[in-house]
Amino acid sequence: MTDRRRHNAPSRSRSRPRPITPRTHWLLLSVLVVTLSAALLLQGYTHHMFGITPDDVTGGRGRDEAVPGRVTRGGPVIADAATSAHTARVKDRTIALTFDDGPDPVWTPRILDVLRRNHVRATFFVVGTEVASHPELARRIVAEGHQIGIHTFTHPDLSRLPSWQRSLELRETQLAVAGAAGVTTGLFRPPYSSRNDALDDADWSVLKQAGAAGYVTVLSTQDAEDWQRPGADRILMNATPHGSTGQILLMHDGGGDRSQTVAALNALIPRLTSHGFRFATVGAAVGMARPVQPAGLGDHLQGMALITLLQTGDRVVWLLGVLMYAAGAISVLRAAVVLIAARRHRRLRTGPRSSSWGRPVTEPVSVIVPAYNESAGIEAAVRSLLASDHPVEIIVVDDGSTDGTADLVESLRLPGVRVIRQQNAGKPSALNTGLAAATCDLVVMVDGDTVFEPDTVRTIVQPLADPRVGAVSGNAKVVNRGGLLGRWQHIEYVVGFNLDRRLFDLAECMPTVPGAVGAFRRRALLDIGGVSDVTLAEDTDVTMALCRDGWRVVYEEGAVAWTEAPASLNALWRQRYRWCYGTLQAMWKHRGALVQRGAAGKLGRRGLTYLLLFQVLLPLLAPVVDIFALYGLVFLDPVRITGLWLAFLLLQLGMGLYAFRLDGERPGPLWSLPLQQFVYRQLMYLVVIQSLFTAVSGSRLRWQRMERYGSLQAPAGTAAPADDVPSQSPGGFPRPAPYDGLPQQVPYDGLPQQVPYDGLPQQVPYDGLPQQVPYDGLPHPAPYAPVPQPAPYGGRPPIPPHPGFRQPGPYETPLH
């Protein structure tokens, strides 16, 4: 059984809420963000800043005054470049096969197979990122007796980099080799290098820096030009030396399709062997003593850590890509579903085949206004209700206000308005107090910061002519639309909330009747035990309970109410945090609807699934979209990323234009939609993250009241206030028609008092409201006293009276 709040329950103060939300998760989230950012920066640098490209992309040769003549005319192996450079040549009839740009997972193993069959040893100049991606190939190269050299970490043109970045490229490649193969090497080949006589001053500065770091630079004397992919025969011709001079032959095992290289190598080795050439590593070919040494423990461990970090970064980027596509697919799916549903909903309600709910509802309505420190806007709210063109009794339940809210309402001396005071016990308790005091079978609940249009009450109760309908959601709109924050909330109300409600109405799975404007059958509320206080989203909780009890909940877009939205980011955070956390509580409480049948099953399998996908999962994926967008702008194609972002924005704009058209709103505020993506959107998904952490950690969030700003306008035409209480001045509240000229209501002199809520009394039969007095001779409606009750809907038998309704079974415990 849902809990009931007694009137004499201990006071639960809301004026000074104690912050009990967890703090550790923000630290964990910050650490995660920093770690993820570092991994993405490293992954972006290693995979997208540079990369393997053909050897002729660097342009022409520059000045060469700084290059020593003995180097230009010397051998291809250059040592001590930083001090007294000297070179070495390959022995006659010796071929040092060298392979650049690997290891490649496809072509390096095939080249190794060819070398093994022919009992040949070669030298592989590896790229650090490729070693990190395929460490097993680096181990195989060393294990099969080949030499290994470094070819930088990301294959940049070192001559165009600053000194610190050159050092980083060399060091990280050495660590990758040490981590993968357990060795360090002194052999180095710069990317895009060729022969000695092609060196210019920029190249020489690179060789000097490498020499100072202890590296021996290995250039080439013969280029097979396999990077051009001219065909196996052409590669074979380019690789065949003329004469008996020893050569360092440049070939490639990575950087693209090397099938021609493999085919040419199969023919080259037997041909040169038959001509008396022998094959050796670079070290053996020039007589160098052990250029490759076992790595120290520190270098090996650092190298393993680097490889792990890079591989993790690769997986993270892959996962981010998958999640980004998932977020995009979910967003497009939601847009399609919502727009199709909204169009169909519009046709069903306004098209030529639309059907009414039944005979017009003319019976009076009890309007319950729970109020806690609402002095800034309570007068405007009550006066707007008095201006209704439908008979109402207004019950203001003051929940222990400390700002004189109850005194203010009483001092207005407005006819038909009752004030009930109670100790502070929370909004659900205030609603239940009003429910117990109500004398009408139809109840409208409205927040103290909300004002109604003159026809709102009449419009919102019309769907209750259908005996299957237990509750009706109205159309809440933002009244304080000034500034970006106000516009953004206005857009969210129209595009997000109202489009969703049309879908929920069509699918018969409405999860929330907003507290700002909702109509209910009093007996339906009593049947589920009233308004529960076990969640912070009492409106969502009670709506789901009604659905599970078999009632249909619908949306009436014509019932317009104007509500005051938060005017600061801090206030907005508190409000949405409470909404989101309360919704999670309600979803968890009513999770049993997933396996139920009938109306409850529709709520579970349609409504709860929709909330989980689009109000929980999609906001959690939103940070992925932002992170990947930043990553793409820095490391990928910024034009493509910008195009995708614009496409996403156009999708939202299209939804916005259609939603504004359905709601009869001017599309002007939509100009701020692009700006909404950079502040408001991030705030909303951080709210979801915070709410989930709060829920998972088991913390109990307490009620946080929103600050009121007094931006609501008191409508004209109601009874004059007392002399000692000045009326509020208009504040720019939009009205479709003036309030004056409406009939005045006389006081409800003798409304019966109800016993406390813990024993809800049976409803007092309604015997007609007092006659209304004409206002200055203007046309006025006929007396409501003799209003006939509507006939049963569609010929169905009438619903049995409330005393015969069953009480529902207990629902699940709330999410903590």
**Catalytic site includes residue 200:** no
Instruction: Find the mean pLDDT for residues 45-55.
Output: 73
Cβ distance 310 to 42 under 8 Å?
A: yes
pLDDT: which is higher, 689 or 119: 119
Cβ distance 672 to 488 under 8 Å?
A: yes
Reduced 3-state DSSP string for 374-424: CCCCHHHHHHHHHCCCCCEEEEEEEECCCCCHHHHHHHHCCCCEEEEEECC
- The pLDDT value given to residue 355: 61
pLDDT: which is higher, 34 or 226: 226
Asked if pLDDT for residue 648 goes beyond 70, the answer is yes
Per-residue pLDDT tens over the stretch 428-453: 999 999 999 999 999 999 999 899 99
User: 3-class DSSP state for residue 42?
Assistant: helix
Cβ distance 564 to 613 under 8 Å?
A: no
Cβ distance 381 to 417 under 8 Å?
A: no
Residue 64 CA to residue 204 CA, distance in Å, equals: 8
Asked if pLDDT for residue 456 goes beyond 50, the answer is yes
Structure tokens at 598: 């009938």
Q: Is 591 exposed, middle or buried (0-12, 13-18, 19+ CB in 10 A)?
A: middle
Instruction: Find the mean pLDDT for residues 707-715.
Output: 55
Cβ distance 285 to 248 under 8 Å?
A: yes
Pairing of strands 417-422, 442-445: unpaired
- The pLDDT value given to residue 267: 96
Per-residue pLDDT tens over the stretch 396-436: 999 999 999 999 999 999 999 999 999 999 999 999 999 99
Asked if pLDDT for residue 767 goes beyond 80, the answer is no
pLDDT: which is higher, 113 or 761: 113
pLDDT: which is higher, 731 or 705: 705
Residue 105 CA to residue 253 CA, distance in Å, equals: 10
| Residue listed under structure tokens 């306008």 | 713
Instruction: Find the mean pLDDT for residues 173-199.
Output: 95
| Residue listed under structure tokens 């979803």 | 587
- Report residue 469: phi and psi, to 5°: -85, 125
Asked if pLDDT for residue 320 goes beyond 90, the answer is no
Q: Please state whether the peptide bond connecting residue 17 to the residue before it is cis, i.e. omega within 30 degrees of 0.
A: no
Sign of CA dihedral 752, 755, 756, 758: negative
Query: Which of 28-32, 61-65, 248-252, 624-628 has the largest mean confidence?
Result: 248-252
Look up the pTM and report it. Answer: 0.69
Residue 496: which residues within 8 A CB-CB, separation 6 or more?
A: none
- Average pLDDT over the chain, rounded to whole? 82
Neighbours of 476 (CB within 10 A): 25
Residue 620 CA to residue 420 CA, distance in Å, equals: 43
- Side-chain-side CA neighbours of 233 within 13 Å: the count stands at 0
Give the ranges where 508-562 is alpha helix by DSSP (H): 522-527, 538-548
Bridge partner residues of 95 (DSSP): 247, 279
Residue 129 CA to residue 150 CA, distance in Å, equals: 11
Asked if pLDDT for residue 23 goes beyond 70, the answer is no
Instruction: Find the mean pLDDT for residues 128-151.
Output: 96
Find the angle CA(718)-CA(724)-CA(730) to the nearest 5 degrees.
Answer: 45
Residue 305: which residues within 8 A CB-CB, separation 6 or more?
A: 179
- The pLDDT value given to residue 113: 97
Query: What is the rounded end-to-end Cα distance, in angstroms, of the chain?
Result: 18
- Name the amino acid, one letter, at 121: R
793 confidence band (pLDDT: 50, 70, 90): very low
Instruction: Find the mean pLDDT for residues 574-602.
Output: 93
Buried b (16+ CB within 10 A) or exposed e, 703-712: bebbebbbbb
Per-residue pLDDT tens over the stretch 491-502: 999 998 999 999
711 confidence band (pLDDT: 50, 70, 90): low
Q: Strand 365-371's sheet: what is its strand order?
A: 417-422, 392-399, 365-371, 442-445, 518-521, 469-478, 552-563, 450-452
**Catalytic site includes residue 252:** yes
Instruction: Find the mean pLDDT for residues 770-782.
Output: 35
Cβ distance 429 to 5 under 8 Å?
A: yes
Structure tokens at 390: 């439908």
Asked if pLDDT for residue 525 goes beyond 60, the answer is yes
Catalytic residue selected from 155, 252, 390, 590: 252
β strands within 696-764, DSSP E:
none
**Rg of the chain's alpha carbons, rounded to an integer?**
39
Instruction: Find the mean pLDDT for residues 121-147.
Output: 96
- The pLDDT value given to residue 635: 85
Residue 487: which residues within 8 A CB-CB, separation 6 or more?
A: 481, 669, 672
Residue 790 CA to residue 362 CA, distance in Å, equals: 8
Share of the chain above pLDDT 90, in %: 61
Residue 478 CA to residue 234 CA, distance in Å, equals: 75
Instruction: Find the mean pLDDT for residues 517-546.
Output: 95
- The pLDDT value given to residue 747: 36
Asked if pLDDT for residue 734 goes beyond 90, the answer is no
Catalytic residue selected from 55, 100, 389, 541: 100
Instruction: Find the mean pLDDT for residues 692-718.
Output: 59
Cβ distance 447 to 370 under 8 Å?
A: yes
Neighbours of 765 (CB within 10 A): 7
Asked if pLDDT for residue 718 goes beyond 60, the answer is no
Instruction: Find the mean pLDDT for residues 599-606.
Output: 94
Instruction: Find the mean pLDDT for residues 37-54.
Output: 77
pLDDT: which is higher, 504 or 815: 504
Asked if pLDDT for residue 368 goes beyond 70, the answer is yes
Per-residue pLDDT tens over the stretch 719-729: 433 333 333 33
Instruction: Find the mean pLDDT for residues 655-665.
Output: 93
- The pLDDT value given to residue 709: 53
596 confidence band (pLDDT: 50, 70, 90): very high
Per-residue pLDDT tens over the stretch 336-355: 999 999 999 988 887 665 56
**Region for residue 243 given its phi and psi (left: phi exceeds 0; alpha: psi -120 to 50; beta: otherwise):** left
Per this entry, what is the length of the chain? 816
Asked if pLDDT for residue 630 goes beyond 70, the answer is yes
Residue 621 CA to residue 326 CA, distance in Å, equals: 8
- The pLDDT value given to residue 41: 82
Asked if pLDDT for residue 763 goes beyond 60, the answer is no
- The pLDDT value given to residue 55: 63
- The pLDDT value given to residue 656: 93
- The pLDDT value given to residue 626: 85
389 confidence band (pLDDT: 50, 70, 90): very high
Per-residue pLDDT tens over the stretch 737-762: 333 333 333 333 333 333 333 333 33
Of 432, 426, 434, residue with least CA distance to 372? 426
Instruction: Find the mean pLDDT for residues 272-296.
Output: 94
Residue 700: which residues within 8 A CB-CB, separation 6 or more?
A: 20, 816
| Residue listed under structure tokens 């107090």 | 433
Residue 95 CA to residue 90 CA, distance in Å, equals: 8
Sign of CA dihedral 539, 545, 548, 554: negative
708 confidence band (pLDDT: 50, 70, 90): low
DSSP 8-state assignment for residue 744: B
Asked if pLDDT for residue 18 goes beyond 50, the answer is no
Per-residue pLDDT tens over the stretch 229-272: 999 999 999 999 988 999 999 999 999 999 999 999 999 999 99
User: 3-class DSSP state for residue 210?
Assistant: helix
